[in-house]
Amino acid sequence: MTGARAELDRKLKVVILGRDDALWLSANVLWRAFQQAGLEITVIELPSLLRAGDVYPTLKQQEAYHTLIGIEEAPMMRASQATFSLAQRFANFSRNRPPFMHAYSTYGRDIARVPFHHYWLKARAQGAKAEYEDFSVNAAAAKAGRFFIPGEAVDGFANCDYVYHLGAQGYCHVLKTVATQRRINHRPGRLADVVRDAQDGRITALKLMSGETVEGDFFIDASGQESLLLGAALGVKTESWQQWFPCDRLLTTYAPPLSPLPPFSQISAFRSGWVGLFPLRDRTAVQAAFTSHELSAEQALEAAHMVTNMRLNPDAIISPLFPGGRQAYWHKNCVAIGEAGVVFDPIDSVRMHANILGLSHLISLFPVSRESMLESAEYNRNVGAAYERIRDYQMCHYLLNQRNSQPMWDYARAVQPPELLKYKLELFAARGNVVQYDDETFEDDDWAAMWLGHGLFPKAYDPLVDQMSDAEAIQHFQRMLGFIRANVEPMKPMEAYLGMAPAAV
Amino acid sequence: MTISPTRVVILGGGTAGWMTAASLIKAFQPHFCTVRLIESDEIGIVGVGEATLPQVHDFNDFLGLDEPEFMRETNATFKLGIDFSNWARNGDSYIHPFGIHGQAINGVPLFQYWLRARLNGHNTDLESYSFPIVACRNNRFDFPSDDDRSVRSTFAYAYHFDAVLYSRYLRKWATARGVQRTEGKVVDVTLRPEDGFIQSLTMQSGEIIEGDLFIDCSGFRGVLISQALKMGWEDWTQWLPCDRALAVPSDRSEAFTPYTRATAREAGWTWRIPLQHRTGNGYVYSSRFTTDERAAEVLLGALDARAQAEPRMLKFQAGRRQQSWYKNCLVIGLASGFLEPLESTSIYLAQIASNFLMRLFPGKTIDPKLAQEYNRLVDIEYERVRDFLILHYHANEKPAEEDPTGLWRYVREMAVPDSLLTKMETWRHRGHIHRYKDGLFAPPSWVAVYTGQRIFPQNYDRQVDTMSLEMVLQKMAEMKERVAVNVEAMPTHADFVRDYCFDPSAKVMMEDAQ
Residue B506 confidence (pLDDT): 58
Mean pLDDT of chain A: 95
Cβ-Cβ contacts under 8 Å, B425 against chain A = 374, 377
Strand B319-321 relative to strand B81-85, pairing: unpaired
Cβ-Cβ contacts under 8 Å, A39 against chain B = 462
Choose, out of A41, A464, A472, the residue to mutate when testing the contact with B (most B CBs < 10 Å): A464
CA distances from B191 to A167, A422, B199, B372 (A): 67, 33, 5, 21
The answer to whether B442 contacts chain A (CB < 8 Å) is: no
Residue B333 confidence (pLDDT): 94
Closest CB to A366 among B361, B462, B467? B462
Kind and range of the H or E element at B353? helix B346-359
The answer to whether B230 contacts chain A (CB < 8 Å) is: no
Is the Cβ–Cβ distance between A286 and A87 less than 8 Å? no
Minimal CA–CA distance to A11: which of B106, B465, B429? B465
Interface A–B counts its CB contacts (< 8 A) at: 106
The answer to whether B233 contacts chain A (CB < 8 Å) is: no
CA A270 to chain centre: 22
The answer to whether B467 contacts chain A (CB < 8 Å) is: yes
- Taking every pair of Cα atoms in chain B, the longest distance, rounded to a whole number of angstroms, is 78
Closest CB to A34 among B121, B429, B466? B466
Cβ-Cβ contacts under 8 Å, A64 against chain B = none
The answer to whether B61 contacts chain A (CB < 8 Å) is: no
Please give the residue of chain B at the shortest CA–CA distance from A427. B369
The answer to whether B429 contacts chain A (CB < 8 Å) is: yes
Backbone angles phi, psi at A254, to 5 degrees: -150, 165
Question: pTM of the full predicted structure?
Answer: 0.95
Angle between helices B346-359 and B368-394 (to 10 degrees): 160
pLDDT higher than 60, residue A2:
no
Cβ-Cβ contacts under 8 Å, B178 against chain A = none
Cβ-Cβ contacts under 8 Å, A463 against chain B = 6, 32, 361-363
- Cross-chain Cβ contact A36/B27 below 8 Å: no
Minimal CA–CA distance to A170: which of A48, A86, A350? A48
Is the Cβ–Cβ distance between B270 and B299 less than 8 Å? yes
The shortest C-alpha distance from A292 to chain B (Å) reads 39
CA B108 to chain centre: 28
Span A302-327, mean pLDDT? 97
Residues of chain B with pLDDT below 70 are 1-2, 43-49, 505-514
The answer to whether B366 contacts chain A (CB < 8 Å) is: no
Q: Could you tell me the pLDDT band of residue A123, with boundaries at 50, 70 and 90? A: very high
The answer to whether B123 contacts chain A (CB < 8 Å) is: no
Please give the residue of chain B at the shortest CA–CA distance from A463. B363
Span A92-111, mean pLDDT? 96
Cβ-Cβ contacts under 8 Å, B422 against chain A = 377-378
Residue A1 confidence (pLDDT): 43
- Cross-chain Cβ contact B463/A34 below 8 Å: yes
- Cross-chain Cβ contact A375/B426 below 8 Å: yes
The DSSP result for A231-291, as a single string, is: IIIT-PPEEE-GGG----EEEEEEEPPPSSPPSEEEEEEETTEEEEEEE-SSSEEEEEEE-
Residue B506 makes CB contacts below 8 A (sequence gap 6+) with: B75, B252, B275, B276, B277
The shortest C-alpha distance from B121 to chain A (Å) reads 6
Span A73-99, mean pLDDT? 97
Span A344-364, mean pLDDT? 97
- Partners of residue B248 on adjacent β-strands: B281
Residue B2 confidence (pLDDT): 55
- Cross-chain Cβ contact B369/A431 below 8 Å: yes
pLDDT higher than 90, residue A151:
no
Residue A11 confidence (pLDDT): 80
CA distances from B473 to A298, B116, B287, B484 (A): 66, 9, 48, 17
| Catalytic residue selected from B26, B79, B327, B475 | B79
Residue A222 confidence (pLDDT): 98
Closest CB to A378 among B432, B438, B460? B432
Dihedral sign, CA of B219, B344, B447, A361? positive
Cβ-Cβ contacts under 8 Å, B359 against chain A = 433
The shortest C-alpha distance from A380 to chain B (Å) reads 12
Rg (CA), chain B: 24
Minimal CA–CA distance to A100: which of A268, A350, A288? A268
Closest CB to A374 among B27, B429, B466? B429
Choose, out of B34, B369, B469, the residue to mutate when testing the contact with A (most A CBs < 10 Å): B369
Is the Cβ–Cβ distance between B433 and B447 less than 8 Å? yes
C-alpha–C-alpha distance, residues B10 and B324, integer Å: 14
Task: Tell me the CB-side half-sphere exposure of residue B222, using CA atoms within 13 A.
Answer: 28
C-alpha–C-alpha distance, residues A407 and A413, integer Å: 10
Residue A28 makes CB contacts below 8 A (sequence gap 6+) with: A69, A175, A178, A179, A182, A184
HEC per residue, A111-153: ECCECHHHHHHHHHHCCCCCCHHHHCHHHHHHHCCCECCCCHH
- Cross-chain Cβ contact A36/B465 below 8 Å: yes
- Cross-chain Cβ contact B465/A34 below 8 Å: yes
The shortest C-alpha distance from B363 to chain A (Å) reads 6
pLDDT higher than 90, residue A5:
no
Alpha carbon dihedral A92, A98, A101, A106, in 10-degree steps, equals: -140
- Cross-chain Cβ contact A440/B361 below 8 Å: no
Cβ-Cβ contacts under 8 Å, B430 against chain A = 368, 374-375
Residue A489 confidence (pLDDT): 96
pLDDT higher than 90, residue A500:
yes
Residue B47 confidence (pLDDT): 52
Is the Cβ–Cβ distance between A492 and A501 less than 8 Å? no
The shortest C-alpha distance from B443 to chain A (Å) reads 14
The answer to whether B207 contacts chain A (CB < 8 Å) is: no
Closest CB to B28 among A374, A377, A467? A467
Cβ-Cβ contacts under 8 Å, A7 against chain B = 120
- Cross-chain Cβ contact B466/A37 below 8 Å: yes
Closest CB to A426 among B29, B369, B422? B369
Please give the residue of chain B at the shortest CA–CA distance from A361. B434
Is the Cβ–Cβ distance between B9 and B184 less than 8 Å? no
- Cross-chain Cβ contact B120/A36 below 8 Å: no
The shares of helix, strand and coil residues in chain A, as percent rounded to the nearest 5, are 40, 20, 40
Please give the residue of chain B at the shortest CA–CA distance from A426. B369
- Partners of residue A83 on adjacent β-strands: A165
Closest CB to A378 among B32, B362, B434? B434
Residue B286 confidence (pLDDT): 98
Residue A135 confidence (pLDDT): 98
- Cross-chain Cβ contact A36/B121 below 8 Å: no
- Cross-chain Cβ contact B430/A430 below 8 Å: no
Q: Could you tell me the pLDDT band of residue A413, with boundaries at 50, 70 and 90? A: very high
- Cross-chain Cβ contact A3/B120 below 8 Å: yes
Known catalytic membership, residue B79: yes
